[in-house]
């Protein structure tokens, strides 16, 4: 009997090291990043007090970090509802991991007609594929059409036959639109800015011609964070490309359905589905600062693997009382 009791104590000791037994132990493990051991305790507390924001937040993050993104959604939604700090960050990541992009940015509405900007790069090719598949889902019902803008004064080499075939493979109508710009018209602006502005103008023109109320662009999370860093560094402005932008003047809405998708995931998707790389010879490409910011973002993630989520969260967590007063 004594031997069995000693054996029980030994087993209890070792099992106690497997997972947390108290809320305090679970929080310590959570802080250390040992989510698997902390998860059972948070699950118990979240179940016993389903409206507690903190318990749901801790359990949701543990699920997310241990590969259970689907399980993480409901507790993180409760955490966001209860306004728990960082809850929105991890909920967005959970939506991303479960491919619920429309829940993350609320892009699509019943009756929408959406124009997809198809440059021919991996991002826009992925956007055509994702929206082409998404449009087949019963609700909300919407339709899509893709446009490839050809800038005649820049020596781009696009395989339009391939782009058209790619669209047709996903049931997306394809349109080609040609335009041009004169770089000497405004020497204060860079050629990249003028090209981008004229392409955007072309998108609005085609959208109106086809009765579209929304324009979908293929920007991903990396693009948005790089733009944030560029604007802070060069413009002195804390701004970036929003996931959804209502253009009241033009009666049009710009949406970026892949705003929570990592570029690394799109690179993997492109390789998996053998996207054909477009030949592009832009004489102004070397003048862009975006490639520099890609390097900066990589350095930040080397310093802190969660850096992208901190940067994303900072855009909705501006603490004005801790900033200098605005000088008129």
Domains of the chain: 14-98 (1.25.40.10), 107-296 (3.40.50.620)
Mean pLDDT (the chain, rounded): 85
| Alpha carbons 34 and 38: distance in angstroms, whole number | 7
Element (H or E) spanning 94, and its range? Answer: helix 87-97
CB atoms inside a 10 Å sphere around CB 290:
14
Question: Strand locations in 181-251, DSSP E?
Answer: 214-216, 244-247
Residues with pLDDT less than 50, the chain: 1-17
pLDDT at 6: 44
pLDDT tens-place string over residues 98-144: 655 555 556 788 899 999 999 999 999 999 999 999 898 767 889 99
| Alpha carbons 221 and 97: distance in angstroms, whole number | 13
pLDDT at 96: 64
Question: Is 234 within 8 Å of 221 (Cβ atoms)?
Answer: no
pLDDT at 193: 77
pLDDT at 100: 59
pLDDT at 172: 98
Question: Is 158 within 8 Å of 146 (Cβ atoms)?
Answer: no
Helical packing angle, 87-97 and 53-65, nearest 10°: 40
pLDDT at 280: 63
């Amino acid at each position: 009997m004594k031997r069995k009791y000693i054996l029980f104590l030994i087993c209890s000791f070792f099992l106690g090291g497997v997972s947390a037994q108290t809320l305090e132990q679970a929080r310590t493990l959570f802080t250390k990043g040992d989510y698997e051991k902390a998860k059972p305790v948070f699950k118990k507390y979240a179940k016993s007090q389903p409206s507690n924001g903190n318990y749901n937040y801790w359990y949701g993050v543990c699920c997310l970090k241990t590969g259970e993104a689907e399980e993480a959604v409901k507790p993180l939604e409760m955490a966001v509802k209860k306004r728990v700090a960082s809850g929105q960050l991890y909920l967005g990541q959970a939506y991303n991991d479960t491919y619920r992009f429309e829940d993350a940015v609320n892009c699509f509405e019943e009756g929408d007609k959406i124009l997809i900007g198809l440059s021919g790069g991996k991002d826009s090719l992925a956007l055509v594929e994702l929206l082409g598949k998404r449009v087949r889902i019963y609700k909300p019902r919407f339709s899509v059409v893709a446009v490839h803008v050809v800038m005649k004064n820049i020596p781009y080499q696009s395989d339009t036959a391939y782009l058209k075939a790619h669209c047709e493979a996903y049931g997306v109508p394809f349109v080609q639109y040609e335009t041009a710009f004169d770089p000497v018209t405004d020497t204060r602006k860079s050629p990249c800015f003028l090209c981008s502005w004229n392409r955007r103008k072309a998108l609005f023109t085609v959208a109106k011609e086809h009765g579209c109320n929304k324009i979908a662009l293929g920007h991903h999370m990396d693009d948005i964070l790089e733009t944030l860093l560029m604007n802070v560094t060069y413009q002195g402005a804390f701004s970036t490309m929003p996931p959804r932008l209502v253009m009241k003047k033009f009666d049009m809405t710009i949406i970026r359905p892949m705003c929570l998708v990592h570029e690394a995931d799109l690179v993997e998707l492109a390789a998996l589905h053998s996207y054909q790389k477009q030949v592009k010879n832009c004489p102004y490409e070397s003048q862009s600062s975006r490639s520099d910011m890609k390097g900066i973002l990589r350095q930040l993630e080397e310093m802190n693997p969660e850096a992208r989520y901190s940067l994303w969260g900072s855009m909705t967590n501006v603490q004005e009382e801790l900033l200098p007063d605005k000088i008129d």
